[in-house]
A = this chain, B = another copy of it.
Amino acid sequence: MSIQKRRERERAERERLIVAAARELAEAEGWEAVTTRRLAAEIEYSQPVLYSHFKGKEAIMAAVAVEGCAELAAELRAARTAVSGHREALAAVGEAYTAFARRRPALYDAIFTLDVGLPFATPEAPAELWEAFGELSRAVAPVAAEGEDPALLTETYWAALHGLATLTRSGRLPEEAHAARLALLTGHFAAGAS
């Protein structure tokens, strides 16, 4: 029996290895450099082994995305709880969000840009994703005006941050004015709050 247990352990360890290798490669050279061949070489197994763990490349990327999501949630929480005041919290979360997108572009893309078949906005979405959205929500809800749906306002603020992050990173918005744009955004969203 313990032999089977060991096997399972080794198998789980190898799966962890695959995800870690995919993440490292993506963060170092971008997702276009992450091929199943390179990934297989990295973990020192043959290509088909990957397919005994994941349905395909997309599933591997989705696993990396979920991992990154947990980190994003943690960073948002840290930013939010480090300041006091609703406006300050909103600004801090916005700053943390765009900083994450800038510092971990591969993770960010896996979560929010690329199509990896990850369910969103449904109960089947991974808990890490809900947690990250919850952190955004805890920063946005307090600045919601009378009669505004906090969830909708969170979605809107999130979308705005996403737009800033992606357009800036792709070079479509000049990098140097990022802070100023973020300030404008948070200012307009926290217009009537303390």
Residues of chain A having any CB pair with chain B under 8 Å = 112-113, 115, 120-121, 148-149, 152-153, 155-156, 158-164, 166-168, 170-174, 177, 180-181, 184-185, 188-189, 191
> Considering only CB atoms, which chain B residue lies closest to A177 in the complex?
B152
Q: How far is the CB of A31 from chain B (nearest CB, A)?
A: 12
7 further A-B contacts with Cβ under 8 Å, apart from A112-B172, A121-B173, A158-B163, are A113-B113, A152-B180, A153-B184, A155-B177, A156-B184, A156-B185, A162-B167
Q: Given A155-B173, A159-B160, A191-B188, does the pair A180, B149 have CB atoms closer than 8 Å?
A: yes
Q: A191 contacts which chain B residues (CB < 8 A)?
A: 188, 191
> Which of B152, B161, B167 touches A181 (beta carbons < 8 Å)?
B152
